[in-house]
Structures are given as C-alpha cells and as structure tokens.
Amino acid sequence: MKNKFDNKSWIKKLNMKLFPPSLEDNTGDVDRLIKEINKAGPEIVNISFQHLQTLSGKLRKAKYQVEAVLYEDQNSWHLIDIFACNGPEKIHVIAMDLGSSTVVLRLINLENHETIGETTFHNPQIEIGSDILTRIHHAAGEGGLEELRSILINKINEEIIKLAQEYGIEIKMIIGMAVAGNTTMTHLFLGLDPYWLCREPYIPVVNSPGIIKAQELCLSINPAAPVLVFPNVGSYFGGDLIAGILASDIIHQEQISFLVDVGTNAEVVIGNRDWLMGCAGAAGPALEGGVADMGMMAGPGVIDKVAIDPLTSEIKIRTIGLHPPVGICGSGLIDLVAQLFLAGMLDLRGKYRSKCGSLLKEINGIKHLEIVSSHDSGTNKELTISQIDIDGLIRSKAAMYTILTTIANTVNIPLNEIKRFFVAGTFGSYIDPKSAITIGMIPDLPLESYISLGNTSLKGAAMAILSRQAKKEIHKIRDSITYLELNVNQEFMNLFSAAKFIPHTDSTLFPSVRM
Amino acid sequence: MKNKFDNKSWIKKLNMKLFPPSLEDNTGDVDRLIKEINKAGPEIVNISFQHLQTLSGKLRKAKYQVEAVLYEDQNSWHLIDIFACNGPEKIHVIAMDLGSSTVVLRLINLENHETIGETTFHNPQIEIGSDILTRIHHAAGEGGLEELRSILINKINEEIIKLAQEYGIEIKMIIGMAVAGNTTMTHLFLGLDPYWLCREPYIPVVNSPGIIKAQELCLSINPAAPVLVFPNVGSYFGGDLIAGILASDIIHQEQISFLVDVGTNAEVVIGNRDWLMGCAGAAGPALEGGVADMGMMAGPGVIDKVAIDPLTSEIKIRTIGLHPPVGICGSGLIDLVAQLFLAGMLDLRGKYRSKCGSLLKEINGIKHLEIVSSHDSGTNKELTISQIDIDGLIRSKAAMYTILTTIANTVNIPLNEIKRFFVAGTFGSYIDPKSAITIGMIPDLPLESYISLGNTSLKGAAMAILSRQAKKEIHKIRDSITYLELNVNQEFMNLFSAAKFIPHTDSTLFPSVRM
C-alpha cells in the first residue's frame, strides 16, 4: 500500500505491510520498520529505547502488518506507537485549554478532525489558591510545586479517562495533545518552578517548552504521545494568548486587528500579517466578577444581562439558566453599570446619583444599590452592588481602555481606525459590546467590528495539534511578536485618569454614547 | 569567550558566559541558554524534559557562567549537562569492549583524548552460561533476560565506579560511552530479546540501536550521557567486528586487506576503501582453548608457546607469567600442533605417529600425548593432549581456512594476492602466524603481512566516542558491507575436507611449510 505522506499533519498514521524476515533479508525488526517508514517519506526516524524493547514482539504478533503513528519535531520524525492492522480503531488527540480557573479538554478524531467530545472542569489548584500569586507562593514551600502539579495532572487524567470511556476510546489510541495556558499555569503543569515569574525581571524557566512525551508528564494517554506545550513571550504573555492569535487568524490578514482577552489581566494584541505587538496589564479582577460582593463566575442563577427603564428606574435582570438570582458575573456587571449610567442613576464619575431613590441604602457608611430584593433572590438575601464595586469596575475598564490607547499610540494608529476587534476567551464572549462601549471600556467602533471568538485558547490548541502549518505558526508568532512593556509613567497615569469617567473625559471619543 | 565549534567531535564542551536576565531581556532561562548555544554553531538544540526542570536553578546558581556539554545525533544537538565554570573538572568518556567472556572499560579524557585508566573483568553472565547459546536459552525463561541484563549492568557500574574513584573523577563528569559487542551481547546489554538470533532466519531485534541515554540503560555515568551502541550486520556479524573494521582502517586503504577475528566464530572481512565483504562461520571452540581437556583461556600458568626438538622430540614450553603449567590456551595449542607436525610426531591428517614414543599413552582407548609430567605440572597431574583434542583443532583450523578461501573465491581474489592480513582481538594477538601457517589455518603469506591489532573492539569503541568522523563511518561500514551467507554446500564441504590436512592436501598452497 502506498502511503500518502502529505504535509498537512505533524502526527501521521501509516499503514504498513512489511515483508517478513527471510534468509535473503535478515534486516533487524526495528530497522525493517524504519526502512518502510523511510519509503513513505520521513528520512530521520527516531525510535525510543522503550520502543526498541517492545517493537519486535509487536511486529511479530501483528505478522508485520501494522499501522505506525509518528510525529514530526525539529526536522525528524518520532515513532509514537504501532498497532496491529486488524481493528476499526481510530486515533485521537486532545486539545486542552489550561485556564487558572477552568480547564477544557476536547477529544478530536485525528483522521477526520471531528470533535468527539468535550469536558470542562474547575482547575483543582483553586483549592490551594484561587489566584495565580497564591499558587506561586505555595509552590515555593516544601513539596508545594509537586502538590500543585500532581493535583492538576490527576484531575486531568481523571477527566481524560472519563471522556475516553464515554466515547469508547482506548487510552493508548489518544496519541497527541496540545496545551495552551498562561505562563504560570504552563509552569505548574510542567512542574517548573514559577518563583521568578512574579519577581523582577520576571523570567520564565522556559519560553518554548516544545514537545514533551506524555509519560514524562504522567498524562494518561499513549505514553509516547507528543504533548505540544504552547510557548510564552514572557511571564505575563502566555501560551493561551499565542493560541488566541493563532485562532484569530490575524497573522494572515492585511488589515490591522485588535485581539483582546479580557480578564484579571487585560491582554491585548495588535497587528496583521506583517507585524504583531502585544502587551498585558493588570485590569483588576472586577471584569471577571471577582471583586463585587455579589460577584461570581458565570454559572446557574448568575445575572448575565441587565436592562433598566430610564423612566421608572426599574431594574430587569436575566440569569443563566433562568434560575433565581444568586450573584452577578463580569459581563452582567458591565451591563449593569452601562444601564445605570444610561438611566441617569450613575454620574460621569460612576457615583450613585439620587435618582436611584429608595433602592440606594447606606451600609457601614457605604452606598449600596439593591439589584434584587431578598424576596426574589435565590439566596434569600438581597443582592446589592456597592459604590466600591462600581469604583472597582471603573478602574478595571479604565485600565483596559488605557492599555488599548497606549498600544495604539505606540504603533501610531488611531483607535477608531481599527477595523476588527476580536474578543478572545469564554468570558469575553458574554460581554455585550454595546454596554462595554457605553462604559468606555472599549473603543466606540461600529458594533460589527466586535467579533467574539469564544475559547480561543482551546481553538488554537486544537489547530496546533491537527495542523503542521499551525504548529509552525505558533513559533512564528512567538518569535515575531514585540512585547510592549507597560511603563506606569505619568503619561499612562494621565490616560488612566481620563478613562476613569463614563465613558471618558473626552466624550468625543464616544459619539455613539453621547447620542 | 568565542567557542570553537569544530567538526571533529560529536560530544562537545562549550564555555558560556550568558548575559543575566534583565527587564530589557526577559528571555526565559532555558531559551537564553539555547540561544547562546546556537551562537556557537548548533541550530537545533534538544533539551530533555528533565533538564527543563533543573536548568534554571543550575544557571542561577552558577550566575549564568556555565560549561555546557552536548552531543550530536541525527542532525541535532542534545544537551547532556551544564556545569558551573568554577572548577578544574575535566570531562571524560568510556569505551567498552563488551565481550561474552571478557569486558574491558577504558576511561578517556575527552578534552585531550588521553587514556586515564582501563579495567578488564569477566563477563558476569558466565555464571549463568559460558556460551552464548546457553544465555539465549536462559533469556527465554521467566525473568531470564532481565537477570542477564542486570547482572551485567551491575558489574559494569561497579567497575565504572571503581575506575572513577581510582582516578578521582566524578561520575557525572563521565558524559559519554561507546559499546562494541557481538550481536547477542548487545541484545543482552540492552535488554532486548535474543530469542530470534539463533533461530532461522536469525533476525536481530535491531541492527542499529543508535544512541541511548545512560539513565535508560541504568548506567552509572551522567544520566543524560549518550551511549553509542555499535550496530550489527546480523546475528553473526556484530558491533565488535564493525569496531574492528573501524580500528583496522581498511576502509581508507586502496589495497585489499583481510581482517580476521579468530574465536569460536571465525569472523572474516575482506575489502578496501571501495567495498567490504564479511562473513562469519562457526570455527569451533578449539581455537580458543575451549575444548581440549587441558584447554583454558589465557591466564597465569597457561602454556602459550611450545617448541619441540625434531631430533630428541623434547617438548619445551613457556607459560604465562612463567608459572608452573596448568593448561594450554588456543595459541599454545596452535604452536603445539605445528611443532608436533614439524617434529614428525603428527602425520598429514593430524594423527599421532609412533615417533611420539613413550610420551604417547592410551587412556580409555584414546591416544594421549603427555606434554607436561605430573612432576612439572602446576596441578600435580600430568597435562596431556588427546587425539580428540588434535582432531578438534584440525577441524577448527580447516573451518577457518575454508572460510577464508570461500570469501576470497567469492570476490575472485587469490588468497596469495592479499597484501595485508589484520588479526583482530586479544586472542588473535597471541597467535604465532608462523605456527598458524604451518598447520594451514591461514594462508602462506609473508610473515610481515600479518598484523595483529590487539583489542580492536575496544579501539574502535574509543575511536567512535572521540571522533565525529569515526561515528559516521560506523554506519557507513554497516550499510556498505556485503554479508556473505556461508552455505554449507558440497563445494564448501570439499574445501573443508581438503583443508583438514596439515597444512593442506594441496601442499603447493603452503610453499614455506613444504620447505
């Protein structure tokens, strides 16, 4: 059988019918296999020592009729495994979005690229520390790093096994994985000391971890499966964002695009097929619903949409799953503040106005606005947003806008000339661009400029595991991106102060809001 | 410091003074190291996952002033280790001759190629089986292969540690090893199943095991040290002979040479810089002193030289170390038979003649010649050689001569036109070519044609670990050699029968003996 050895994949399956050994051809078993692989294309084929010890037996058992799976890395090919040619087994790969709060696994058929199944779960490291800094601190304690690594890997393995069982797939038939996460998560996943990530001059152990075999990472897939770990540009610009750039396709477009991942860090990329600039800055946790008293991550009963009647000041809410309200997520908070402002209940500085009426209460000297009464609440307590919550959101949105302005100024492109504004990340996909524009978090572009890409970390990981071209581009992206170090200097502070108004001190920047 | 990255070695040390990290250059630690290595030459540098986990700490501890050692394989470079630039430590390598009875380790300074020390010891697998077939059989039993592997590796480790201690060298500073052994020994060393080596069609698990990391083989040297395992051409033509060809340098010469390794197997190579042909055939253990009642391997008190006065028939012997005689080795036996023949005590067919006189006794109906009286013997028993012992040697020498004739006939070159006849192996170096010619074991060439090379397996291993060119040539030799399968057909049997005379039925082939 002639094997087609195309250029599209970097993980391949080859069907091979070897001539069995004879007195006329006494080539060793392993060399026999390599020669046949050579015929299909790859010149340099690496066989691990472990394979040396088992290949001969497997070949003989399969009567020299086998499927070989291989992957390409650094100009050579590496054998992953061989399987007897006697079953309908299909080979699969996994793409992983390794978030600090949420991890998503996608199981994909490598042969037809179909998604077989997906699973989402909380990062178990949350038990040790909900935020990255706590985890870095924990890693410095005795056994801390290994604890963080192992609870994560164990949970991932548990979920892989569940997923594989659910779809009737043998673990050994999962023969590759791509992992996109931020720099700290990547370090913890690999068991690399994150100590210097948060200490000047913020140096990762490694920028490009490259490909590591599954067994070295203790992952429950085929032991020799390549695990492609996305590279980072620095401590604050991780593989998740490289995956995002890959998924957004901005590096193939002529027009200049923004790519923004909104979260505790505002991660921003600007560029096109010729150049890329990225920066990341602390936006504060407000945007993720992590600060407000009633703030929480998206989930059942969480308010994700708000509308206020400007005449009656009546607050209408929508919750996820239409359950009784229990809290508010970041996108809900953005909606709420936009609506409060448009209804005249917040002033330009984001302070509650008297128009709020009886809904506004003072608790311990701090103004709280009742959003949901105790009667309507899923917690039997009233849900309120304090002036402090609002102030936090204003700071976050101002930080985001300032970062966008700074990077646009650096490349000398006015914000309103950007044609496409990609929003990366699951969280970002919940944000209503109109509300975000209203509060002055993002530039006042035509709404159609805003394109939500969903989980770009996962999408990028899936692209990289499936495509040779995408795998190459990851490194092209990493190497070509210019990282803009945000200097919190006077100019930055001036921009930040100006952006702390709703929508902005210079209201001409937001003509749609002015109307 | 500018690193000279010459082409001579495939294991290199680079002195590197890295710029420490700064806010202006936040390159990751590992990537920083790789970039500096790239500057010295190698484009593709592989860093193992284990190194990923420790490099950052080592770099910081050494204040980014390090020596890196790397090896080249399959067009890329692999990091072995980094050391702080603060000591006079030198890096070392080991060459190993992995014999089935004797193992030799040579410790070499990689920087100036000086031999530091050497150690020779019995292969501990002898306890399980003195011959290869017994070991192959033992390996098929439960746990047998692992037992054979581990007693060998443990013994090698013990000897490495002793050697390193003796010369004050840290184990981690031994950063490479080359191993030349026959095909079965190589399999047992690697823990590869030798089952099919002695069963038609005699297929090795692998011909070219390539480079394996020391830790995978459980060797007590630097864990990431490359272990270059010599390839084989087949079950009966192993890495020891490839090492021999390398050491003999015949592949660089215009004139055609023979290379012969005399032992239980007669391994023969003929060729020059343009072509190589090899074959191996059973010669029987007689040549190694493995059959005669008083036969033994070379050692103190073993007879290695014999002279007989043709007039008085007095037998004069020399023993190793001049100790009282305890037995006879292969080279002594060849000498003895040659001298017996020249003294008229053996006839053309190798049968004892009456001229032996009173020294000839009959024990259980078999003629025995007393070589040493019980009075002079180191064992207090007389040392005798029986007709059966002589017959065994005649068969072995006839097999050797037949193999030489067959291979010379195949390439159509008369034996007497061969200009150089290299004798490989420690055993071969003890053989007196004149005696070997007298009994018709080797062709009647001018004595200066015979060049003993000593332990070519060890020499070849040392060349391969030290030189990039030699490492390449191993594979060139392996791939270019034509293996001649000895068919024991009528023609072979006719040649063999003719060679069973002393020196030969066709005495014109041995003019020097006729004289």
Nearest to B49 among A202, A207, A212 (CB): A212
CA distance A435 to A442: 9
Strands B420-424 and B450-454: parallel
Three-state DSSP at B84 gives strand
Burial class (CB in 10 A: 0-12, 13-18, 19+), A85: middle
Rounded average pLDDT over B469-481: 96
pLDDT single digits (tens) B115-150: 999 999 999 999 999 889 999 999 999 999 999 999
Contacts of B363 (CB under 8 A, 6+ apart): B384, B386
Q: How far is A502 from chain B (nearest CA, A)?
A: 35
pTM for the predicted model, two decimal places:
0.92
CB B56 within 8 Å of CB B30: yes
CB contact under 8 A, A52 and B202: no
CA distance A244 to A454: 10
- Amino acid type, A24: E
CB contact under 8 A, A52 and B235: no
Q: How far is B237 from chain A (nearest CA, A)?
A: 11
Q: How far is B343 from chain A (nearest CA, A)?
A: 46
A23 vs B contacts (CB less than 8 Å): 200-202, 485
CA distance B174 to B105: 13
A74 vs B contacts (CB less than 8 Å): 44, 46, 76
Closest chain B CA to residue A55 = B205
Interface ipTM above 0.95: no
Cis peptide before B201 (omega within 30 of 0): yes
Name which of A26, A47, A64, A229 to mutate to probe chain B: the one with the most chain B Cβ atoms within 10 A of its Cβ: A26
CB contact under 8 A, B56 and A205: yes
CA distance B11 to B224: 12
B202 vs A contacts (CB less than 8 Å): 23, 26
Bridge partners, A230 (sequence order): none
**pLDDT above 70 for A4:** no
Alpha-carbon torsion (A488, A491, A495, A498), positive or negative: positive
CB contact under 8 A, B213 and A55: no
A56 and B CB contact within 8 Å? yes
Residue B459 in tokens: 């020499």
pLDDT computed for residue A290 by the predictor: 56
Residue A240 in tokens: 């998740």
Rounded average pLDDT over A160-164: 98
pLDDT single digits (tens) B296-335: 777 899 998 999 999 999 999 999 999 999 998 888 999 9
Q: Choose among B189, B160, B158: nearest CA to B173.
A: B160
| Cβ contacts from A onto B, under 8 A | 122
Contacts of A336 (CB under 8 A, 6+ apart): A303, A306, A315, A328, A371, A385
Name which of B22, B23, B26 to mutate to probe chain A: the one with the most chain A Cβ atoms within 10 A of its Cβ: B26
CA distance A232 to A247: 16
CA distance A209 to A201: 20
Closest chain A CA to residue B197 = A28
Strands B302-308 and B327-328: parallel
Quickly state the pLDDT bin for B502 (edges 50, 70, 90): very high
pLDDT computed for residue A262 by the predictor: 78
Quickly state the pLDDT bin for B21 (edges 50, 70, 90): very high
**pLDDT above 90 for B4:** no
CB contact under 8 A, B28 and A201: no
DSSP symbols for B420-483: EEEEESHHHHHS-HHHHHHTTSS----GGGEEEEE-HHHHHHHHHHH-HHHHHHHHHHHHHEEE
- Give how far Cα A226 sits from Cα of A48, A160, B334, Å: 13, 16, 59
A208 vs B contacts (CB less than 8 Å): 28, 31
Q: How far is CA B17 from the centre of its chain?
A: 42
- Amino acid type, B189: F
Residue B72 in tokens: 């080249």
Rounded to a whole number of angstroms, the distance between the first and last alpha carbons of chain B is 69
DSSP symbols for B101-152: SEEEEEEEETTT--EEEEEEEE-GGGGT-SSHHHHHHHHHSTTHHHHHHHHH
pLDDT computed for residue B1 by the predictor: 36
Closest chain B CA to residue A206 = B28
Mean residue pLDDT of chain A comes to: 92
**pLDDT above 50 for A449:** yes
CA distance B243 to A339: 83
Q: To the nearest whole percent, how much of chain A has pLDDT over 90?
A: 83
Contacts 24+ apart (CB under 8 A), A47-51: A47/A79, A47/B210, A48/A78, A48/A79, A48/A213, A48/A224, A49/B190, A49/B212, A49/B213, A49/B216, A49/B217, A50/A223, A50/A224, A50/B216, A51/A79, A51/A224
Phi-psi region of B368 (alpha: psi -120 to 50; beta: other; left: phi over 0): beta
